[in-house]
Homo-oligomer: A and B are copies of this chain.
């Protein structure tokens, strides 16, 4: 059962949270470890906007996963003890049904014909995957970043189906600064003439728009403090310069350029638009009338919330808000504020700081 890459197909019509229907949509998921005979040792991980289901390596797929140091044998989410499931989000482009997939009705990619995507839809598909695996109650529900909002949606929609809840660098809903940022990323993609209103040929698309969206993303995934430490005002050597005088002077510009170029071709532009907007639209308050009431539906026996003060995308007051509201609702909540300079991406980068609290939470 180790690291099988599986596909779950929803039988028949899947009604989307904000209207519209998908016919027999599928999601790809990977698993690690063994499900106990009592099926009581499962951990479900919902991902951020861009990762695939490949959270960690395994004999079947030895490529390093996006959370390699966090998940695995003798790692904080220990696959000798836990049966870990990670799903590629509905709407994404790493095997799951999304705007880049072929619509059975037309034989063409959905493109903008894909219905409005909500994180609740991703949560519902996750629930179906778990049912197929024979899991009625999770030992752990985990979500960093956008995945943390998906985990909240899951938790509010399916109370009584999880024991522990781990929320990392996330919030109960997007605040206007993050909305503005993502809106601008979407506009950069949509204004690229190669986007062609979503009708770019498969494999091609708005490369410049995606590059610029990625650069803008990097500015909020990392932190000013980290860049000051790494780059300061270091210049690009003359021999590496090109173009007019405005091209590039500083190493930080070269770093952003390299990251933007690495992203090219990795992610389908329409999928990015749908997932980005789903992040803006999510609001736990829709699950109870207010943020507090929505969070009060979450009945985990134990909660761990982790935040990082240098995070610009999900600022740390949002993690404090989650912890406080869940505590007020009577949950047993631990809150860890980690002193990392890596901003929003700290949970992917600063593993020495993140491993201990996650390990303690899952060991107990």
Contacts and interface: CB of A to CB of B under 8 A. Distances in A.
Contact of A253 (B180, B216, B250): B180
A283 B233 contact: yes
Interface string A217-252: 001000110011011110000000000111011111
A180 B277 contact: no
A259 B129 CA distance: 46
A61 interface: no
A256 B184 contact: yes
B208 A191 contact: yes
Interface residues of A, number: 49
Nearest to A218: B180
B176 A188 contact: no
Nearest to A313: B224
A177 B256 CA distance: 11
A227 B277 contact: no
B315 A224 contact: yes
Nearest to A216: B184
A246 B188 CA distance: 12
B227 A212 contact: no
A252 B182 CA distance: 11
Contacts of A112: 244-245
Contacts of A249: 179, 277, 280-281
Given A184-B219, A224-B315, A246-B190, A252 B176 contact: yes
Contact of A173 (B116, B212, B233, B245): B233
Contacts of A250: 176, 179, 183, 280
A339 interface: no
Contacts of A15: none
A174 interface: yes
Contacts of A183: 248, 250, 252-253, 256
Interface string A274-314: 00010011010000000000000000000000000000100
A132 B173 CA distance: 58
Contacts of A116: 245
Nearest to A189: B246
15 contacts: A173-B233, A175-B224, A176-B232, A177-B223, A177-B252, A180-B215, A180-B227, A180-B256, A183-B256, A184-B215, A186-B246, A187-B215, A216-B216, A233-B283, A249-B281
Interface of A: 112, 116, 173-181, 183-184, 186-188, 190-191, 197, 208, 212, 215-216, 219, 223-224, 227-228, 230-233, 244-246, 248-253, 256, 273, 277, 280-281, 283, 312, 315
Please list the 7 inter-chain residue pairs (A to B) with the smallest Cβ-Cβ separation, ordered nearest first: A177-B224, A176-B252, A176-B227, A176-B231, A183-B253, A180-B252, A179-B250
